[in-house]
Amino acid sequence: MCQKMSTTVANLKKKSVSRKAHTAAVPSEEPSSATTAEVLRTVVRRPLITQRTSALIRRHGITLWLRSLPVVPRPRHHLKEGVTR
């Protein structure tokens, strides 16, 4: 049993190392300024990205609702003294 457990631990370590390599978000170049041309180029390349993101969030919510996850209302926001909207 001890050898089986050590093999499992070794496999878990290998998996965690391989995950780290894939999740590292390192920019490959300097960020560019948001010029009009850059914004238009991005919109042409990915025309419905905000609608896609919204649809995926809604789909996830529907999936959770279908699993009978209870809907928890957001708590009311109380403004602190001296803060205006």
What pLDDT score does 4 carry?
52
User: pLDDT, tens digit, for every residue of 6-59?
Assistant: 555 555 555 544 444 555 566 677 777 889 998 898 889 988 988 999 999 999
What pLDDT score does 39 carry?
87
Contact present, 56 and 62 (Cβ < 8 Å): no
- Chain-centroid distance of CA 23 in Å reads 11
* 25 phi and psi angles, rounded to 5 deg: -105, 90
